[in-house]
A and B are shown apart, each in its own frame.
Chain A
Amino acid sequence: MSEQTTVDMAELLGRYGGDKSQLIQVLLEIQRRKRWLSAEDLEAVSTSLGIPYTQVYHVATFYKAFSLVPKGKHSISVCLGTACQVRNAPRLLDRIVDIFGVKPGDTSQDMQFSLDTVNCLGCCALGPVMMMDGQYYSKPTNEELERLASAE
């Protein structure tokens, strides 16, 4: 199991100085630093910004960028958009599920990989395409995927 990233919430929230309009920025920063938002995080944000917990929860569940469950160290996005679809993206997805041992929307047992499907990665000419930690991979071979899966 990977080390749990800890975030100094007091420092983080202090920098935003209780500015209600910064709600999404605050949540994004927590998400970026520890890869998920816990109930305690939402509670702390709610108290610090003076926004009702209900509303913080509403925003946190509205945007796909936020996760309320812990995410793996590496995030993988597989494109299932039209262009990738006709170039056999579902097959690529199957291979990724096999090699990384994680289903779409899930995180692997060792908390290393989270797999998600997306509708476009903006580079249809490279399809079928996947993205891991911000890096694009076009038509990855099994060897390439295995290399990625063994990387820490």
Chain B
Amino acid sequence: MSEITLTINGQEVVAQEGQTVLEVAKAAGVDIPTLCNLPELVPSGACRLCTVEIEERGRKRLVASCVYPAEQGLKVETETPQVASGRRLVLELLMARAPGVKQLTEYGIRYGVDPRKFDDTDADMCILCGICVRYCAEVKGLNAIGFVGRGVDREVMFIPEIAAKECADCSECFRLCPTGVLPSNYGINRVPHFDFPPNSFCKP
């Protein structure tokens, strides 16, 4: 592990190679909002709230700081107008999916978002941050909960065969859910059984 130096908000910071920009910023006391980041989990860059602006060879772009590796000489800005506008949009989209969540509301006030900008008639409160899924797989090693489907149909679901055995004694993921919807999903979102005789699937 070699030491590197980078600049965060104009201030020189020393970091270890292999750290992410978010880790370095946190250690330097710079506050970056996050939802899907937990220190004990592998970062996944799901919520995009930790967006920061980096400058490489004179070009500026927005990246998710929780998955962006710190590099020698990197210039990072955490609160530019571009960053704020990016976070604002992310928050507005998340708030459409999960209205009335305390943490989102607090961030929303900070960035001046319009909580009703987008109207999601199908708001199911799950922002697909994957904290529960990663916690179950990485920390507990139980894999009782997982992502199912793709794109707009993507959902977090408990796998009944495993959940029935393991979840009653654990349920540690419940308190980690940023929107608090997970405990109610435990009762509802179970993967559908597809073991019926073939013809029972055919609709007339």
The contact size tier of chain A is 20 to 34
- Asked if residues A111 and B145 are in contact (CB atoms below 8 Å), the reply is no
User: Which residues of the other chain, B, contact A63 by a CB distance below 8 angstroms?
Assistant: 150
Query: Measured between alpha carbons, how far is A87 from B198 in the docked complex, in Å?
Result: 35
Query: Secondary structure of the A side of the interface?
Result: loop
The interface size bin for chain B is 20 to 34
Q: Which residues of B contact A (CB under 8 A)?
A: 133, 137, 143-150, 159, 161-162, 191, 193-195, 198-199, 201-204
Taking a contact as CB atoms under 8 Å apart, the answer to whether B159 and A38 are in contact is: no
List, in ascending order, chain B residues with CB within 8 A of A53's CB: 143, 159, 161-162
Q: Is B201 touching A69 in the complex (CB atoms < 8 A)?
A: yes
* Contact pick for A54, options B137, B149, B195, B201, CB 8 Å: B137
A62 to B147, CA, bound (A): 9
Asked if B143 and A55 make an inter-chain contact with CB atoms under 8 angstroms apart, the answer reads: yes
Supposing A39-B194, A57-B191 touch, asked if A52 and B201 sit within 8 A by C-beta, the answer is no
Residue of A nearest to B191 (CB): A57
B146 nearest in chain A by CB position: A54
Q: A5-38 toward B: CB 8 Å interface, digit per residue (1/0)?
A: 0000000000000000000000000000000001
Residues of B within 8 A of A61 (CB): 148-150
CB of A111 within 8 A of CB of B159, answer no
Q: Known contacts A53-B162, A69-B198, A111-B199; can you find 4 more A-B pairs with CB under 8 A? A: A54-B143, A54-B145, A62-B150, A111-B198
